[in-house]
Homo-oligomer: A and B are copies of this chain.
Amino acid sequence: MPEFLKVKTAEEVLALVDRMVPLGEEIVPLEAAAGRVVSRDIHAAIDVPHFRRAVMDGYAVRARDTFGATESLPALLRVVGEVFMGKPAESAVGPGEAVIVPTGGAIPEGADAVVMVEYTQDVGDGTIEVTRPVAPGDNIVEPGDDIAQGSPLFRAGWPLRSQDVGVLAAVGLRSVPVFRPPRVAILSTGDEIVSPETDPVPMGKIRDINTFVLAAQVREAGGLPGLRRVVPDDLERLAAECVQALTDHDVVLLSGGSSVGVRDYTVQVLERLSGAELLVHGVAIRPGKPTILARLGAKILWGLPGQPASAMIVFTAFVRPSLLRLQGVDPALRPKTHTCRAVLRRNMPSVHGRADYIRVRLLEEDGTVWADPVFGGSAMISSLSQADGYVIVPEHVEGYEAGTPVTVHLFGMESLTA
């Protein structure tokens, strides 16, 4: 493992994320498919509809029998039957004949069009007048007109929404192949951190926050939070916990211990893990400089800052995209995720020479969505709740003025409801 790597840009880290390989696939019942990512191209196995259907209430007829019909010279047809919803059509339509059909009803043999009920008049005695001509195919859907057998429905890498599940139900699927969600272990390290059930908290210690926030973020990103543990800054124990976590999980998040300083434990831990490949050691963003990314075979380890507000930003910027990628989300199919546009409410100064990720709160006033910067206080726990996401000020920019339209990277979907 190289002893030192150049600090990477956010774009370089995201390029590494893009190259991550989706986990294996599993088959889930349709009831559990929403939010999952299809793992193979899915084609329709059947035609929808699978029979000729009326799309209007009216009469199934032979179109040629209506040619030339007008209000003053209507076509006269004999009603020989009725089609009921959900039943096969029993009567066939012969020359000069019509059969009553409801919207969605099956079209009887012999008929090739439906005359809307509005353009007919029941003149009694089982006879109707048709006052407008129909062409063959009018008001009828043919088998496969909606979805043709064999046609593509969803590409591998597509995250299924509620409505997509409806399409799968329509083509008769009861289960669907999807990528397996990543199992994520969350370790929080720091000699001052105690697990949250500790009560009272001894002098000098603080309760763990990161495993709670990160677990909620993992779940929201479609991952499965597994092991969650507070580990003291003890190299041997930390390495042992990481080895343990890596056996049962696809991803390990290790918050704290990764600042490039005296106690750069994360990198020292990685040195003790055989086969660990350090891909990122420091990112040129603030906060988030101490971010670490390593690979151990197919397993991923992220080192995150210990500061909760910073860990949340790094999770949103890098870890979430990696979890989506491991779930197989194809960025080409869903290029932009978890962002919204807003207008800066106040000036947002920034230091030239590094990318600043500045937290903002979203507000809606007079139909405008405003992004209001949350300045300072990133060490303050209370400030955690104030932000809905962040705005990136690139390294070559010295800040933005109030009124500038910006892209907000949302911490979670719930943030949108602010």
* Contact yes or no, B213 A55, CB < 8 A: no
**Chain B residues whose C-beta falls within 8 Å of the C-beta of A213 in the assembled complex:** 162-163, 165-166, 169
A391-418 CB contacts (< 8 Å) to partner B: 411-418
Contacts of A192 in B (CB 8 A): 85-86, 104-105
Q: Is A191 an interface residue (CB 8 A)?
A: yes
Produce 1/0 per residue, A48-69, CB < 8 A to B. 1111000100000000000000
> Quick check: A163 and B411 within 8 Å, CB to CB?
yes
- CB of A384 within 8 Å of the partner chain: yes
In the complex, chain A residues 255-270 whose Cβ is within 8 Å of any chain B Cβ: none
Contacts of A190 in B (CB 8 A): 85-86
- Distance in Å: Cβ of A215 to nearest Cβ of chain B: 7
Q: Which residue on B lies nearest to A103, using beta carbons?
A: B379
Which B residues lie within 8 Å of A232 (CB)?
A: 86
Complex-state Cα separation, A270 to B43, whole angstroms: 41
Interfacial chain B residues near A89, Cβ < 8 Å: 203-204
Contact A385 B163 (CB under 8 A): yes
Residue from B87, B174, B199, B412 within 8 A of A197 (CB atoms): B174
A238 at interface, CB cutoff 8 A: no
Once the chains are docked, how many angstroms separate the CA of A31 from the CA of B166? 31
Whole-angstrom CA separation of A362 from B162 in the bound complex: 16
- Counting CB contacts under 8 A, is A119 at the interface? no
Q: Is the CB of B202 within 8 A of A88?
A: yes
A239 to B44, CA, bound (A): 36
Which of the residues B34, B49, B205, B379 comes within 8 Å of A220, measured between beta carbons? B34
Question: 8 Å CB contacts to B: which residues of A166-214?
Answer: 166-170, 172, 174, 190-193, 196-197, 199, 201-210, 212-213
- Chain B positions within 8 Å of A87 at CB level: 191, 204
Interface stretch among A3-11, A130-138, A334-342?
A334-342
Partner pick for A86 among B191, B220, B336, CB 8 A cutoff:
B191
Copies in the complex: 2
A318 at interface (Cβ–Cβ under 8 A)?
no
- Whether A51 and B166, one on each chain, are in contact in the complex, defined by CB atoms closer than 8 angstroms, is no
Inter-chain CA distance A205–B216, complex, in Å, is 43
A161 pairs with B411, CB closer than 8 A? yes
Q: Is the CB of A337 within 8 A of B31?
A: no
For A174, the chain B residues whose CB sits under 8 A away are: 196-197
A168, A204, A364, A384: most-surrounded residue (chain B CB, <10 A): A204
B191 pairs with A85, CB closer than 8 A: yes
Q: How far is the CA of A51 from the CA of B163 in the complex (A)?
A: 52
Q: A169 to B369: give the CA distance in the assembly, Å.
A: 30
Hey, which chain B residues are within 8 Å of A217, CB to CB? 162
Contacts of A205 in B (CB 8 A): 86
Is A274 among interface residues, defined by CB-CB distance under 8 A?
no
With a CB–CB cut-off of 8 A, which chain B residues contact A381?
48, 146-147, 166-167, 170
CB of A140 within 8 Å of the partner chain: no
Chain B residues whose CB sits within 8 angstroms of the CB of A86 once the complex forms: 190-193, 204-205, 232
Is A15 part of the binding interface, using a Cβ–Cβ cutoff of 8 Å? no
A346 beta carbon closer than 8 Å to chain B:
no
Is A22 positioned at the interface, with any CB of B under 8 Å from its CB? no
Q: Which of A154, A169, A190 has the most CB of B within 10 A?
A: A169
Q: Are A417 and B216 in contact (CB under 8 A)?
A: no
A397 → chain B closest CB, angstroms: 16
Given contacts A55-B379, A170-B381, A381-B167, contact A203 B106 (CB under 8 A): yes
> Is the Cβ of B416 less than 8 Å from the Cβ of A416?
yes
Sample of 19 more A-B contacts, CB < 8 Å, known A48-B382, A341-B369: A34-B216, A35-B414, A49-B206, A50-B201, A51-B203, A85-B191, A85-B233, A161-B415, A162-B414, A163-B308, A163-B385, A164-B385, A166-B212, A166-B213, A166-B384, A167-B382, A167-B384, A169-B209, A338-B417
List 8 A-B pairs, Cβ < 8 Å: A88-B204, A89-B204, A104-B206, A161-B415, A163-B385, A167-B382, A169-B196, A340-B340
